Every structure is written in structure tokens, then in C-alpha cells.
Structure 1
Amino acid sequence: MLFSWRGGPGALSFLQSLLLLTAWEAGSGQIHYSVLEEAKHGTFVGRIAQDLGLELAELVRRQFRVVSKGRGDLLEVNLQNGILFVNSRIDREALCGRNAECSIHLEVIVDRPLQVFHVEVEVKDINDNPPVFPESKKRIIIAESRPPETRFPLDGASDADIGVNSALTYRIDPNDYFALDTQNNREQTSSLSLVLRKSLDREQIQEHSLLLTANDGGKPEMTGTVQLLIEILDVNDNAPEFDQFIYKVTVLENAFNGTLVIKLNATDLDDGANGDISYSFRRPVSPAVLNAFIINPNSGEIRTKGKLDFEEKKLYEISVEAIDKGNIPMAGHCTIFVEVLDINDNIPHITITSLSLPVREDVQVGTVIALISVSDRDSGANGQVTCSLTPHVPFKLVSTFKNYYSLVLDSALDRDSVSDYTVVVTARDGGSPSLSATASVSVEVADVNDNAPTFAQAEYTVFVKENNPPGCHIFTVSARDADAQENALVSYSLVERRVGERALSSYVSVHAESGKVYALQPLDHEELELLQFQVSARDAGVPPLGSNVTLQVFVLDENDNAPALLPLELVWRSVGAGHVVAKVRAVDADSGYNPFRVALYTGEISTTRSLDEADSPRQRLLVLVRDHGEPALTATATVLLSLVESGQAPKASSRVLAGAAGAETALVDVNVYLIIAICAVSSLLVLTLLLYVALRCSAPPSEGACGPAGKPTLVCSSAVGSWSYSQQRRQRVCSGEGPPKTDLMAFSPSLPPCLSSTEGTGQKEREGRREEETEDRKWCCDRRA
């Protein structure tokens, strides 16, 4: 460490012995250094980075910085070597006055992670101020009649330094009449008096001129002088005298203007005018005393003038003289020490420095949010401050140093519940009654993408009439995201899959922003009764989150298919009158009138009218079941009914689509016995003909599990030649679980054409059976040829 000094080389070793090098202590996270005042720019103070345990290479990256509140740029840190050095002139007297302790408090802050260190740099005093007297010349009037050992108070010198550097000693020029007397009191102040050693003779010496010199205790010492001009008067021989030479009084700082401080009393043994006393402040009078007190020249009462402030000045020293009114005035002197008592009249002051705002909602518990410092100008218990926070906030205060706190996260944050907090810090002193102050800091919680978009229901059921116009709006999905800004920006898309041989996107589309679902082409109930697919909702967060919803679109039938006539062939023969020569048959691809109804609450299926031959022998019913929950959930069941003749046991099979989201697996009611009977009575020739006719007449192979079945199929059976032309519709729904199943319709040679073995036989049908079989056999054989 380098220092500059005004003294000679002989004092260098002594100065170096006083210098404290970088001493630091690990207590409450504080490092202590010391430096002499008036040190040159660049003077080494300490290796602060090394003492704090920080790597030199990380100082710039971690934004190493030093903050000195109200101390300017006296000290600085070299970020290359981590050394704390003197940056500008340090004047201890300007910095701390005559306080015994003088320190510069530094806050060292580094980021990533945030750390705060407290550094105290003690400023050591050097003897750079000489003693100074109030006046360069002092005139003293002494009556020649004053007896020896009479004391005359003198104004001592003042030294701005402290300690030994301000310890003053006095001396005067050698003479026969006067000597110096210095007395120290408990207040550590010096009482300097000029003592008369022998009687004066004005006729011999009318005026004495003495040089009073003050030396301080510094090395090297510095001096100050004042010239004493002592005038000898031959007048009044009794001076006023006070009861005490020193008075001590106290007064509250909140005393009203004009409050009596003390009433002085001086006596003079002379009579008449020589005994009349006038009181006054002895000159020179300090401005602080003139602004705070006033003295009554007649009564000697000293009262307050204006408002006292303990925080500005705690002790007043007032010199008073009592002067008589004789021809040669004589004066008596005393000193009053007025101590100002502190009251709790200053509220605490709070300073909040925000460091990490806004705060991410996923920040770890224990993270420092802000730095808080408090102060109170009062002393003692009146200046002792405690801090607290408003309740029910996820933060707490951690004391890091005297009157320094850190605002720390105490529990996890959730922006979706609370997006910002107003944290109120209350500082309360220890006075009675105590005073408090509050300061607030707004802590904004930054959002992270921790919530996926959610739909109100897991699935929706939509009913759309067939033959819709292309691009028509059929439904709108909506998902809500509890996050904010881009984390809550939801976009929609289809979960692509195959519907038979075609992609799902060829049937429907969804608008990415609004969630509106559109049918891209007209839907056909005869081809597709149920279209089930999923829509995905995904937010714009990083990484994005998403969820799916299932839509079941039921295509409702409209009468858009005209009946189609089956092929008709006439046979001309010699027949009698009234014989049936042909029978016209037609099929319609649309769904017919539903002859069934289902009870709303019991689920019982009953007929709404009588069933006749015009009704299909196999009825396929789709039953929708919906609960009353919030949200409502649905399920569908497919019931297959076979119409049988009277006396036969009815049969029914059902398929259930649980929650309208499962795969529909056809449950086929196969009459095994009927198949065995047909196979038993059919010969090898019939099987061969069936194979041949199937290759020629049957529909193309059925499509995939998601498409419609083949075209009308011609079935010829038995050697008798009975045949049936059946319009079969097979509707399949994508399930992804194995191959589709279709309804099997079989015909017995002994039953009327186009009716299943379960239909009832009427008298009217048996009458024309033989003619129809003959014609049908001929037509079927022609087709085989």
C-alpha cells in the first residue's frame, strides 16, 4: 500500500507501523479493510476478489460491482486483478468530522447467482490539520487590583484531527506575571486559563504582549498561535463571580421556543454601579449557540430560541460573562454545557433496491428478489429498527447485516393463481411510542408454460345432414389455457388418420385459430354413417403443450335416392287368364321410416306400427344414450333385429360404442343350422354354379374397414332355381381392431325369394311360388350361360 505524507522522511517508519494491511474477518459476511486518509490515487487497499472467494475470470461475466451509498467514487476495484484501490482523495475530516470511528461501507454485488457482500473500509486519521485558535489576537483587560492566582479564561485551539493527533498542549512566552493552567474534565474538554502569578503594577507595565502556542500530538507535530494583548486598568477592584465555574444542564429536543434552560447568578462585592451586573455570551459566540439560545442581560436567564434537533447537535458549550458597570468594568466567567436529550421524532427510512423483477413462477425457493435497507436518525432504542412483511405472501425477510435485509422467496409461485404481489415492508423503531414507516414493492410473476389447453368435454357428438355444401361449418371446438400471452395462444389441428382408402383431411378440416370444423365435401349417409376423429389443441409455449378431443359426427339420412327397379324379364307362354307373368321389385338406398321407438328412461324398444312384408327382414337400430352429468357423456349401441315367422324364437344382437369413442364391432347373428341345411341339400353342381355366378355377378371386393361395402349381390341357390336379389348396405366405422364384419343374409330354396328364413309365410305367397320359381330359374340359368 502506498501513501503520501507531508512530513519528512524521518516519520516514514512510524507511519508504516500505523498502517493496517488487508485484514478481514468472517463475521456476518463482512470484510474489514483499513486505509489512511489522504492516500494517493491507486493506493492498494485489499485483494477484495480473493478475500471474497471469487475467481478473477468471473468478475466481468458475473457483473462484479461495488456500491457505496453517498460516498461517491472514493474506492474502486480493478476487475483485472480484483484489487480494491483508492480512486480519489479521502478526507477523513470531511467524511466523518470528529467522530472517533470513520468507515466507508461498501456493498459488493455479483450476479448469476446473485450474491451480496458487505465490506467495511476504516479510514485512519493522519495529522494533517494544525491547531487553530478562534482569533489571531486576543485582548484581555485586567485591573491592577486583581490579586495573584486570579484566573482569566482563554479560548483554546481546535484541531480537526482525532486521537493523539488532536491532543493539544499549550505554552506561552516566559514572563514574570502570567502562567498557563490547563485542566481536563470528564467531558474530555480542556479548560485553559491565564493565571496571575504576582500583583500587577500599571505604572510599571501598562500592557503585556504574550504569544500563546498550541502543539498537537501528531508526528510530526503541528502548531497554532494566538497573540495575547493584556491591558492593565486601574479601576474597579472586584469582579462578579458565579456560583460555579461549569454548569451542566439537559433539555429535550422538542422543547418549545422560549423554554428556560438555566438561570445564572453572579455576585459582585462592589456597591452601586460597580456592583450592577450585565450578562452576555462571551465573544466570539458560535453560530450554533446564537441560533439555539438567548440570554437575558439583566436576569441571567438562558432560554431556547428556535427548535433543537438532537440529530444535528447533541451538546452545546456556552461561555457566559458577567460584567459590572463600574468605571473600569470587571467580568466574571462561567461555562454551561447543554446536553440535548433525544426523543423519538424520526420515522424509519426504507430503501428498496429491486434486483430480479419480474420473477418467473418456476424460480427456486430461496431466491433473492430485492435488497432492503432501513435507517433511523434517532439514537438508542429510538433508532433500533425491526422490519416485517405483510402476511400471506410467499416471501420473507432475511437479515444480512445491521439494518440490511434481503427479500427472499419463501414458497413456490403459481402465476395462474396470482399474477403479481404487492409486498409491503413495515419498519418500526423501538421508541415509546414507536414510529413506523412502510414501503411497497410490486413483484410481477412471469409466466412459464405449465398448463396444457383443456377442452370442456372429452368428446362431442355432432349430427350433420347428408348432402351438405362443401366447406360448411359443422362444429366449433374450444380449448382454454390457463397460461398467459403466447403460452395461452391455442391453435387447432386434426389428428390425421385414414378413413378407408382416404385421408381424414379429405373429409373435414379445422381452422387453426378459431377451432371451427368444416366439412370439405358433401357427406353421404349411404356411404358413411359415423365419422369419428380427434382434434388437437396446442399452445405456443416452449416447449408446447397440447391435448385432444374426440368428435363423433353422425351423418343424418335425407331422401336423396330414388327407388331402383330390379331387372325384369318377361316370359311369353300359353297360359290361362289370371296367371302372374312378372313381378316388379325395387330397392331404395335411403333409410326407411323407423317402425321402432325406445323408452326415454327404461331403454325398452317397442314397435310403433305393424310390421309387414314391405319391411326389411333385418332391422338395424342405432340407440344414443346420454347421461345428465356436467359435462354430459354419451354412448351408442347398435341393435340388429331379425324378423322371424310366428312360433320361432326371436333373435337380436347388439353392438355398443362405449362413450361414442370405442370401435364398432359388428355382432353377426348367424343361423348355423340354416347354413348346414343349405349345404346338405345343395349338390356339387349348385356349388359350382354358385362359384361361377359369384365371379360374374358379385360386387367388387369389400373396401377397407372404414369404407362402404359392395354393390347389390345376386345370389342363386339350389337346383330348384329359386333366387333372391338383395340390396345389402354394409356400414363400417374405423376402429383399427381387426377386419370388419357384415350381416349375412341366407335364403332357403323352400322360401319365397328376397325373404330370409325367419320371415313369416303367407297364403298369398304360396299360391304364386311355383310360377315365380319357374321364371326365376329360367332367368338365373340364362345369366349363368
Structure 2
Amino acid sequence: MEAIVENPQRIFYIEIEIIDINDNAPHFRRDTINLDIMESTPAGERFSVNNAVDPDLGSNSVKTYLLSESEHFDIEIQTGRDGSKFADLILKKSLDREKQGVHNLILTAVDGGVPTRTGTASIIVRVIDTNDNAPNFPKDNYDINIMENSPVGTLVIKLNATDLDEGTNAQIEYTYSLYTSEKTQGTFNLKSSTGEISVKGTLNYEDIRNYDMEIIATDKGANSLSGQCKLTIQVTDMNDNHPEISIKSFQSPIKENEPIDTVIAVVSVSDKDSGDNGVVDLHIPHNMPFRLRESSDNYYELVVSEPLDREKVPEYDITFTVTDRGSPPLSDNETMTLELLDVNDNVPQFPQSFYTIRVMENNAPGALLSSLTAFDPDLHENQYLVYFILEKEIANTSMSMLFSINPENGNLYALKTFDYEIEKEFLFHIEARDSGSPPLSSNVTVHIIIVDQNDNAPVIVSPWRAHGSVVEEKIPRSTDKGSLVAKVIALDTDSVHNSRITYQFLQKEIANTSMSMLFSINPENGNLYALKTFDYEIEKEFLFHIEARDSGSPPLSSNVTVHIIIVDQNDNAPVIVSPWRAHGSVVEEKIPRSTDKGSLVAKVIALDTDSVHNSRITYQFLQVTDATLFSLDQYNGEIRTMRMFSYRDPRHQRLVVVAKDNGEPALSATVTIKLSTVETAVKAYSDMTEVPLEYDIFSDLNLYLVIGLGSVSFLLLITILVTIVLKCQKAKPSKAAPPCRNSVISERNSTIADSTLVSNDAYWYSLFLAETRKGKLVVRQPVPKGSRYIVSSIPRGTGLTETSDSAASTLNDNAVPPPHCGEVSCHCQELKVEHRIFLKKPICAIVIWFLNVYLSICLSIYLSVMVGMLLEK
């Protein structure tokens, strides 16, 4: 620097020397030094590297260089003109890029300071390649297996030759050598750039099994180098050929009875493959009656192994299958049809061994019963069947008279009409015979069952009726409620269902009384039960119908008329109706003392409401004053004189008469008659009876009586005619149902003479006809009210007279006949009393009642007029 000093001004030059210290380390201008050295560079070759720089001076500057340890390199230190130090890199051993392509070295610059400082640089030596290595294959010889069915383009092998060089020196090209055949080159393709060998043509093991080739690998260096290898390609056999079958002989058809081990066919097999692929097996289906028998190499015989049956299998489709043992196995097959010829080895067979055929009775003759078709599995004439009925007699009747069968189709026909009640079933056999040689046959059992139809109506069998369809049952009047009074049994000859019978009442009412209050019937067995206790004096009989109906379709029925008769018991004592007094049983009578022998003194009439047997009354004296004076007829109750009265006989006679019925035990009633004899009574009585009955009928007083009598007689005649018309109008019985009588009929026999009892509302009158020597006198006597009797008068000396409807009346719908009576000099006469209910409708009953009342009034008027005329006379 310069220093200027003023005053005096002076210039001083000042030099300052800085003494260096080692405060800087050496350093290279580049941290990395790259060197490219050919691997062919000989040893001793020198290579310059950049020197290090150190700002320090002198001894503090770079003093020396150090190189990291290396087998191939070393350094040599050089001093420049300025004293700087630099180093040269010397190749002390040849390089081999293939061993080490890059060498990394550390160059260290060291100064001379204290302490020393260093600086480093990295030297990277890259070895430049030269074509000093030929391509090299991993193996000199390659053995390759390839499947014969490998398709075109299939990679066989990829060759990988190596060249230690790099760049173009390492680029390899593959080619076939001259020793490789054109066939091989045409079969396989070699890709020169990659060394890939692939299938170019079709491989066939059966044509060429091995391929040999030589491959050369050449690099692309300036001085190209090459290497080579050999390849042997073996084609592996694939199971690509199917086995073959050849039918050398085949026999068809054959008989179904061919013996076992009969040869049917000869078969040969082959396969072009090798090894297991060429080993074949022949077989047929296992479910066939045949087997294969090996006769020679690859030849087989098909023989029968089991009995054949054309009826089971008429033909066989035999499939011969040949299979090789390759993987996967290949096979081939051939199918042949074997037909069997029929022989007559099967008997005809029916679908079932027992036929049950049901035939409705009353069938039409010639009706088809069934088709009994048998089956024969044989063919042609061996299958043609003929049907027969094996002859057999049933109840001495040939089967050919009952049935016929069509010999061609087995249709069975009935030749007659069957009746289930006569023939219920048939059992016989039918044979089916084929037409083979020899013929075979079989038979089947046929059971014909006649099916019942409801063609028989029930028949009443109990109680049996010999005369008509009315069943009479007599039951005592004391029958308890619920007692069995009758039993109706009907039989039906039809089968079980059609013969199941039920019993029921046809009508619902009897005499306007519901059946459910009188009787009940068991619908299953026909038992008839009483539902009440009956009284003979009120209900003497019942007449109704019971129907027996089967359960067929349509049902059939029959009916029976049941007549229930109430049997009377002697429970009513006789009642003295004549002579009768209202106050006691003592009757006083007066008779002339001059009465002749055999004259009728009195007549005792007793009635019994019991039945005929129990109501038969006999009379006898219980007490009599003089047994020689009077006689009593035991049947008619007439008391007559046995002699004339004498002066010795007392004036008063006392007679006790007993009336006894015929029951068991007997019941009786008594009456006491006091007779008084008078002298004057005879003349008065005689005068009264001898007076002529003529009088002046045209007097003023009697004119009105005649007019009234004519009117009353006219009205009486009209009333009688209307009553007869109404009572004769009975409903005609319906044709669809049996007539139903809603009435009770009772016929009773009795005898009475010289007496008529007429019913009236207030009194019963006894019109007593007394005989005298000079004439007849009509005497009216009252009878106890309430005695229910109808007695028709029967004149002495006449026959049986039936009570007319106009002369009888009913009380409480009951009629009881009088007891037997009669005179000594005449036969006992019978009286028939009939009690009926003719009409069902209430209006008709009301009309009849009014007519009866009207008739009674007319009779009363008529009697009054007659009495008036007599009194006037």
C-alpha cells in the first residue's frame, strides 16, 4: 500500500507480507474422474488424471498423492515446472471386462502442512468391451420330448446362448447348421433372433418318432464369434388313434333254445398306437346272456352264456366296444342286432288264476259276461289260442246248456236267464290251448256269482194265514201297557241288502185315534206292542194294516191286515132291565086269580155287557113261595103258571129270581117279584083287551090328529131315505193302496122273544107284549137310564132278523147285545147287532147326529098321537 504524509508531504511505500499457514486442504477441480479404458489395453499404459489444487504455499501445498488399493492400477507422481505435484494412473495388469467392467478408485491429495490436510477425488474406470468372447450354450446336447398332437406354433424350446461381451458383441443370431435335414427344418421353425424353436408342421409318432438338429449361435461383433449345440427331439406317442373293430362273422337269427357256448360271432380288434395306447380291450354289455372268448391274438368269439328266451327279449342289440389303455382312453364300437327265432316253449297264461264274474239275475240270454283272454308270448301258430269250457255238470245240468265261450277270443256268454233265488253261483274251468307242436294249454277257474235284484217282495210268514190276508190276534182286556200283542214276520228271498225288512203302520189313525197312542211296532223285527190297557166294553177290536218293506232299490213291500180282538173278561154283572123299579129290586105285580095254566105271569130280562160267552144268562128261582105254582124258563126268564090258582093258595106270592151269567167266575143279579092275585082285575083286564080298536077317525078332534100323523109320517119317510143315502156313501178303496177300514165291527149273537128295547135320550122303554086269551095289550114300562143296549124285536115264530139301520141307534159308539131268551114253545132266535162307523169326516157325523135327533122327535110325536087316539077311543 502507499502512505501519504502531509506537511511535509511525503509518500511512503509499505509492503506487508502475509505468512502462510496450512489452513486449506487440497481439492480436485472435479470430484469424479471418469476414464474409459479398452479391455485390450496392454499393461503399463499411463492415463493422466486431474491434479489437486491447494491455495497454501510452500510446504503447505500439495506434497503427494495416494491411490486406493487396486490389482490393476497404480499411480506415479510427477513434479511440474512450477513445482506442482500431479499424478499419472498406470495400468499395471490387463483388464477383463467380462470379469469386472468398472473399477472404482480413490485418489487422495496430501499437503505438507502440519497437520496435514487431504482432498480426494473418485476415479471411475469403465472397461470398454471388445469381442473377445464367443456365444456359449448352457449344454452341448439337448434331448426334448414333444407330444405328437402338438399343434403348429407350439414352442418346443427356447435356446439361450450367452456372450460375455456387450453391445453388438453380445447380440446373437441363431441358425441351423448344414447338418440339419430339410425334413427337420420343415417340421420345426427356428426364430433367429430369440432362439425359439416351435412346431412348424404336423407331428405323427407313427411316421417319425425322432428329430436331430444342430443350432449355431453367432454374435454381431466386428470379428464375429460363434457357438453351437445339438438338439434331439423325440415325439411322444399320443392316444390319437381309435381302436378298430372288424366283425369277421355274425350268425343271426338263431333259435331261442340254442345251447350254451354256441358261437354267434367272430370279432378282431386293432390299434395303431404304441405302448399302452396300442393295448386294447374288447367287451360287450354285462346284462346280456353272452360272453366273449379270446381265440387268438386280437381275435374274440361271441358265445351264448345263458339260456335265451325270446318271450322276454325277442332280439338283442349287441354293442362291441373296444377301448385302448391310453390316457385318455379311446374307444370304438360296433352294434349288431341278433334276432331270436320262436319255439313253442310257453303255455298260454291268463292274467289271473281265478275269475269272479258277477251277473245280475234276470239277465238276457246271450249276454256277454266277460272276456277271458289268455296270452301266449310265443309267435305265429305257437301263439294262436283256442278256448274251451271243460265239461262239467252242475245239478245234473251240463255246462254247455248254461254258458258258451267263443273259441277264438274267449268271450263268455250266458245261455239262460238266471234266478238268484234258485241258482246263486257256478264254478267251472276254462282251458286255453295254443296251436304249436306239440300244443300247450292252461286253464283258469271261473266263479260266476248271480247278483240279486230286488225282484221279490217280502212275504208275511208269521203269523200264517190260511184264509186271506187278515191276521187275527186275541188279547185279554187286561193287557199291560207295553206288552207284546202280536208279531209279524216277513221273509224276503232276495240277498242280504234287498232282504233287510222294516215294518211300519200304513195308516196313522184308528177310529180318529192316533196310532201312536194305541200301538207301536218295532221296525226291525215286527213286534207289535200295546201302548195302553184296553177295555172290552169300550174298545172291542182294531183293524189296521202293517207294511213290510225291503231295502232294495226300488223297494218292494207287502202288507197284512191285523185284526186285534179284545178278549172279554167277566167283569160286568148282569143287570135286571125288566121288570124294573126305580126304587129297589122288589117289583109288585097283580094278576087275575083265574089265570089259566101256562099263562105268562112275568118276564125277567137281564143284560150283561160282557162278550157272548160271558153274557149268556140263565135264570132260576132263588126263592119261591109255592114251587108247584110257578115255573121259570132258565133261558128266556119267562115265569108261567104251572096250574090254576086254588082257594088254598095264598093271595100274595113272593118270587126271588136270580140271573147268572156264564163267566168264570159267574156273576149274578136278583130281582124280587111280589104277585098279588085279584078277582076284579081279570074282568077289567079282559074288558080292556076285548074292546074293539075301531073308532070314528073322522071326528073333529081326530081330524087334526090324522093331519099331524100324516105330516109326521111323511117327514119320517124323508128322514129315513136321507139317512140311508148318506150311510151308503162309502169311499171306494184306492187301487194304489189296500182299503183302510176305520171302523170296528162286532157281531154278537143273542136270543130274545116278545121284547123290543129302543134307545132314547131319557129312557129305555120295554115294550112288553103280554099274551091273553082274548087279545094283546101294549104296555110301556120305564127302564133304568144309562143302560146301553140295542135290542131288535124278533116276532115269535120268525127266523133270524138283522137289525136295520133305521131301527137302531148307538150310544157312545158301543153296542152290546141282549142275553139269550126265548119261549118254551119256540126255538131260540138269534139277534145280530152291528156297530159301524161309516164316515170319517166330522161334518158327516154332525149331519147323522142331527138326523138321529130329528128322527127321535118324530117318533115321540108319532107315539103321542097314537096314545091320544087310544085315550079318546
TM-score when normalising by structure 2: 0.28
Structure showing greater radius of gyration is: 2
TM-score when normalising by structure 1: 0.31
